[in-house]
Structure 1
Amino acid sequence: MSQQGLGLSSRFRYLVGRARRIDVGSVLERAKETAHAHGKWTPAVVVDMLWQAGFNQVGFQDYVDYDFAILTRAERDTYMTHPVSNQISQRHDDPAYRHLFEDKVAFDRTFSAYLRREWMVVEQGGATELRSFTERQGTIVTKEPVGSAGTGVHRYHAADVTDWDDFHRGLLDRGEMLVEEVIAQHPDLAAVCPGTVNTTRVTAFFDGEQTHILAMAQKFGRGAVSDQMTFGGFYTMLDDDGHAVGPGYDSHAHVHEVHPDSGFRIADFQLPMIDEVKAFVDTVARVVPQIRYVGWDIVVTPDGPVLVEGNWGAGVYENKPSVTGIRTGHKPRYRAAIGF
């Protein structure tokens, strides 16, 4: 991607679009939150947030999450932001192939060899097959084909089902078409939160020859079916060796020195099988090479990494300076790999 690709024309389009959609009340709330957290004057924060959004492509929530209020100009420039990430996705992820990542059924079919678990699609007249699958598994996870941030994901136990025809009909009516075996995660992940399958987000770019790992984040749940923030989850960034760089945090001003349920110290976390994870990402990144920029969600099991999903709109996971003490982000790695 050339410098022009993320240059003035792109910034102008972003500024115009953002101005049309701006929620003044939301901006003020974020500014007040930031000013209170860092001892700043709210009007100055508002002006800075608007300037950063309009001229430096910094999302309002990015500004809050990555503590832009306390960073220097040089430090801010090291942070990847959602608007810039979205432009990379639009440029490098071929629209003709995006449906393979947007539709969870299509994704499972495309990446079936890398899921390493049983799955099925709920169909009319398939109550008997559904019952057999569910009773064999004991517990299942169902997914609506299109959803994000953990929406449309549910968990059911065979022992709780009394009418299989009604259960089958309910899944069809609610659009829960995809049924999967529950992943058995590695003991090192279960030690932090055994009730949720804790995924590792690996953001990567495939340049046609080499897969570049741009950032890694470890997500932790709170016992719910998903580890997303909408279910109370949080994350910590990992270094190149798979070790947590500090405590966990989320976008709601919650900081977790230890996991609230298990008491595990988040900064002590080490992702097991890190070399296998990197090799696995390189392998799956080559399956659909037309989708080059992806946020891969992976779970490490006792037998190695397995694939949960791939997000062609990769999103952004970044370091939070006030929590970790680290005042730089991952944008230089993105620039080196992608060339903008």
Structure 2
Amino acid sequence: MWQRIKTFFARVQTMSVKAMWMMIQKIHAESHVSRLFILCDMVWCAVHYGVGYLEYRVFGWVYIRGKKRKTFMTMQDNLRVCRLANDKAYLPLFEDKLQFNEKFREFVHRDFLDLRKASFEEFQAFCQSHPVIFVKETDGFGGVGARKLSASDYQAEPSCRALYQELKDNRLFVVEECVVQCEKMNLLCPASINTLRMVTVLAGGKPYLMYTLVRMGNGTKAVDNISSGGMYAPVDENGVIFKPAFCDKTGELYEIHPFTKTKLVGFQIPFYAQAVEMVFEAAQRVPQVGYVGWDVAMAEDGPLLIEGNTMPGYDMPQNYYHLRDEKAGILSRFQEVLGERLEAN
């Protein structure tokens, strides 16, 4: 309880009262529950469960009461799993995208260059070999700053040298061969690489798949990140989307993609079984980091890794509109896999 109280006051210090009130208004409009009740319930949930107003809406707690709320994984639960499973000394292997590419080279399946070390001549040769490149920060988050470039536009030495310097000045040190997505995933959204977020936990040396989401672009950007306007949907154990996609930016659910018009519910993710095998193998490469969210893309010949995240989200897999009929969270799955180790941490 003391930890939850500390979390509550920490959130109070950083929260926006205006944003919270706007969220209450949204929830009221959706649920027709009184604003006063929602406000009081939010404060109660913040103190009792350590759940903020954003999570309150995502979890749909205006509709969920009592013991059901205890089935949800909270921020504190997520941090507890991170502390239990992930050794800080090994986190740079995941946090630095170039270190990640080196460590997991056999799963990355694309050429890449480290501009912290590469000479202009090496960069020029890379651009000549790869007509389309993707550049990003070594520690970027949410697709911010990432750019897809046509390297063929920079073949002349002056323009190529200018690009080389521009990327270095903007700390866009990660230069990668652009992933060519398979045609089946292009049906979701051809403008972006639509990735799976596959979360694994390593327990007793054995990897377990905790959940899978598919993220797709909205048709206007080259990234699928939720923070960049993309949307996400849950994927079942057979690789099938089983609920409509949700977009944080609009707050809307989509059974049909608004840009491509592809029917989402019932969509079969290609190469799903191979993707599960791949992340299980990758999960055992650095056993000191046992809780990872793997971003997986599907090329024409199968799955490949984009990156690994050592603090996977706990909110998206518990989106109220994506819950199964029992309307329960995912905490029990982590308790089942980690058992007493989680309770004692």
TM-score by length of 1: 0.92
Displacement, 1:83? 3.6
Of 245, 248, 251, the residue aligned with 1:248 is 245
Q: Distance in 1 between matches of 2:30 and 2:290?
A: 38
Kindly state the Cα deviation for residue 123 of structure 1 after the two structures are TM-superposed. Answer: 4.2
Deviates more, 1:274-283 or 1:86-95: 86-95
Alpha-carbon separation, structure 1, partners of 2:117 and 2:203:
42
Q: Is the 8 A contact 2:85 2:202 kept in 1?
A: no
Structure 2 unaligned regions, length at least 5:
none
Q: Deviations over 1:230-259 (max 9, x none)?
A: 322100011111111111002231221211
Deviates more, 1:66-75 or 1:95-104: 66-75
TM-superposition CA deviations, 1:125-161 (whole Å, max 9, x none):
7222212212321110011111111123111102332
Q: Map 1:133-212 to 2 at 5 A.
A: 133-161=126-154, 163-212=159-208
Rounded to whole Å, the distance in 2 between the matches of 1:73 and 1:172 is 53
Aligned partner of 1:71 in structure 2 is 64
Determine helix, strand or coil for the equivalent of 1:222: coil
Distance 1:331 1:188 in 2: 33
Instruction: Report the equivalent of 1:5.
Output: none
Question: Of 216, 223, 226, which residue of structure 2 is paired with 1:220?
Answer: 216
Give the match's secondary structure for 1:77.
helix
Contact 1:291–1:312 (CA under 8 A) maintained in structure 2: yes
RMSD: 1.9
Residues 35-69 of structure 1: CA distance to partner in whole angstroms, max 9, x if unpaired? 11111111211111121122112232111112111
CA contact (8 A) 2:243 2:265 kept: yes
Determine if contact 2:323/2:329 at 8 Å carries over to the other structure: no
Q: Which runs of 5+ in 1 are unaligned?
A: 1-7
Does residue 48 of structure 1 match 2:41?
Answer: yes
Structure 2 matches for 1:1-340, cutoff 5 A? 8-123=1-116, 126-161=119-154, 163-223=159-219, 224-252=221-249, 253-316=251-314, 317-322=316-321, 326=325, 327-339=327-339, 340=343
| 1:10-50 deviations in Å (ceiling 9; x for gaps) | 32432342233333222212111111111111121111112
CA contact (8 A) 1:237 1:319 kept: no
CA 1:142/1:303 → structure 2, altered by over 3 Å: closer, same or farther? same
What is the number of equivalent residue pairs in this alignment?
Answer: 333
8 Å CA contact 2:127, 2:152 repeated in 1: no
Instruction: Specify the code of the residue in structure 2 equivalent to 1:264.
Output: T
